[in-house]
Amino acid sequence: MTHPATQSIVFEDLGRVDYDAAFDVQRAVHAEVLAGVRPPTVLLLEHDPPVVTVSRRKGAGDHLLAPPAVLDRYGIQVRETDRGGDITYHGPGQLVAYPILRLDGFDLNLRRYIRLLEQAVIDTAAAFDVAAGRDTCAVGVWVGESAASCAAQAGDGAARSAKLAAIGVRIRKWTTMHGLALNVTTNLDHFGLIVPCGLQRPVTSLQQLLGDRCPSMDAVKRTLADALRALLATGGR
C-alpha cells in the first residue's frame, strides 16, 4: 500500500546552516505541519559551525570530554537539545536529515519510524557499495563485524562495529522533529572530544570507508532523499 501523503512530501536543502537557525526552521515547519497547512517536509543540511548537542538524558553532559578552551579552539559550539539519545557531534561534511511529518499519516509508530530512518541510511550506503546494518546493542547504522554480545561491543575487541550514522528524534503531538546524521566527509577527529551517543565505540564515514570513491554530498543527498521517499511510501514495510 502506498500512502497518499508520500506524494506531497517536500525536500528542502538548507545547505550549511548554524544549529540555532536550523532549529528555528524546524520549529516553524513543525508548527505548520502539525496545523495541516504544510505538507510533510524533510530538511537536508550540514551544520556549520560544528556543534556538539547534548540531550536532557541524565549523565549525557558527562560525555563531553573537551573543556571549553579546546572547543573554542576548534570553533565548536555546545547546545542542549530536546531530541532523544545522548550526546553527538554535527559539522560540515555530515549530512543531516530532519523529517517533519505526522506519523499517523504514514501508518507509523515510533519504533517503526526509527527502523525506517535506519533503513534509509542502510539503503543509501548500499547504493555506494558500503555494507551497513543495524546493531542489536544500539540505535543507529553501523559497519563492520558485530560482536556476539553487547558486553563485547563495549570492550576493546577488534569485532566492534563502527557507527556510520546517528539517529535521535523527538515526537510532539505525533509529529516528528530531529532525525539522522550520516557521516560523509565529516572530520572524525572531532568525535574524540565526546563519547559519541555515550558509547565507547568507533565512528566512521563514507570517506574513511571509500577513500577516493567517496560520493559527493549532493549525490548522497539525492540518494538519501530517494530512499526516504520510497520507504515512507510503504510505511517502512
Can 197 be counted among the known catalytic residues? yes
User: What integer is the mean pLDDT of 144-167?
Assistant: 64
Query: In the predicted model, what is the mean pLDDT of residues 209-217?
Result: 98
Q: What is the pLDDT of residue 22?
A: 97
Q: Is the pLDDT of residue 148 over 60?
A: no
Residue 193, pLDDT score: 85
Alpha carbon distance 180, 164 (integer Å): 11
Q: How far apart are CA 102 and CA 172, in angstroms?
A: 9
Question: Which pLDDT score, from 0 to 100, does residue 7 have?
Answer: 56
Mean pLDDT of all residues belonging to the chain:
88
Report strand pairing: 138-143 vs 133-135: antiparallel
Residue linked to cell 519510524: 113
Residue with cell 549532493: 218
Domains of the chain with CATH codes: 4-233 (3.30.930.10)
| Grid cell in block for residue 228 | 526516504
Q: What is the pLDDT of residues 123-132, one digit of tens each?
A: 999 999 999 9
Cα gap 138→141, rounded to integer Å:
9
Residue 203: its H or E element = none
Q: Which amino acid is at 150?
A: C
Pick from 38-47, 80-89, 200-209 the range whose average pLDDT is largest: 38-47
pLDDT at 147: 39
pTM: 0.90
